Amino acid sequence: MEDKEEKEEKKTEEVKEEKKEEKKEEKKEEKKEEKKEEKKKEKKEEQPNWRELMRDDNNFSQDVPYNFKTISYKLKKAAENPENLNPFYTISAINDFTKFFKQISSALSLGFSDITEKCGIMREKFKEYPEAKDIQDLFRIEMKKNIHKLNGNNNKELGHGYDEYKNYTSACRTFLRLLWFLEYLMDIFEAAAKDDGTGSIRTILSDSYYKVLAPRHSFLVKKAVGLALMFSGAGNVAKNVEVIFGHKEFNDEAKNTILITINLMKIIWKGGHNFYEKNGLLGLK
């Protein structure tokens, strides 16, 4: 009888010890998870937020070499939430894309210098409106103030001739032009992806320009871009796939990179376009 009781007591003690060990292990795991979360939090705090990145002139410098990997990362980040476009990743990706024109031809770089200027305007708007959470939110702020149609020339006509907005150029109007530029790039890349590598990049750039941007440009702008296109050597698609996308060969892998890039750009473009369409702003002059 005593032996049986002793055995049961021993068993009970063993169970208690096992439970103690289990609790110890659980606590160890909890501490590990807590440390992981702390490290994640520290990393997040170490990384600058988009406002800081937006203010840094180095992130928008034309002297920083073109880097497709950097652009690809920015496009992915911007495409994560197209209905609330991240200002830094969206604007800086568009700004960076202008750099490959410089590598193709200095004349072309000048022809699209107005895009870098528009990126600069967007940066300034986020300094003016620090409360704006994203690109679409900035547009809503302008719409509430009824300054979303101002383009620098029609201000007096729209009742802003003598107030603080008499020289104002709206973000709504500016970003619409950047979406046009995205359309132009997508058309170029789609044509390049369909090519066998021997096609003239100058012809593709020119055809896409007259299809997408020329109908929206003034006579003087069309003339300037037309001349820039005329004097660009550029070479064929296969030669430029390395310049633009970093692939040494124009093969299926290179084409896949181009198609992935187009898809990311379409997501971003659609996020912006949907806002303009919904609010009747596609005709902003």
Q: What is the pLDDT of residues 172-185, one digit of tens each?
A: 999 999 999 999 99
**Domain ranges, ordered by start, for the chain:** 1-47, 50-278
CB atoms inside a 10 Å sphere around CB 270: 15
The domain at 50-278 falls in which architecture? Orthogonal Bundle (1.10)
Q: What is the pLDDT of residues 186-230, one digit of tens each?
A: 999 999 999 999 999 889 999 999 999 999 988 888 888 888 787
| pLDDT number for residue 42 | 45
| Alpha-helical regions (H) of 134-218 | 135-145, 171-194, 201-208
Q: Judge contact between 179 and 115, C-beta under 8 A.
A: no
Q: Tokens at residue 198, please? A: 């021997």
Q: What is the pLDDT of residues 237-275, one digit of tens each?
A: 888 888 899 898 999 999 999 999 999 999 999 999 999
Long-range contact pairs involving 138-144 (C-beta distance under 8 Å, separation at least 24): 138/87, 138/171, 139/171, 139/172, 139/175, 139/275, 139/279, 139/281, 142/170, 142/171, 142/172, 143/172, 143/279
**Residues near 65 by Cβ (< 8 Å), separated by ≥ 6?**
99
Q: Judge contact between 68 and 243, C-beta under 8 A.
A: no
Q: Tokens at residue 35, please? A: 């440390």
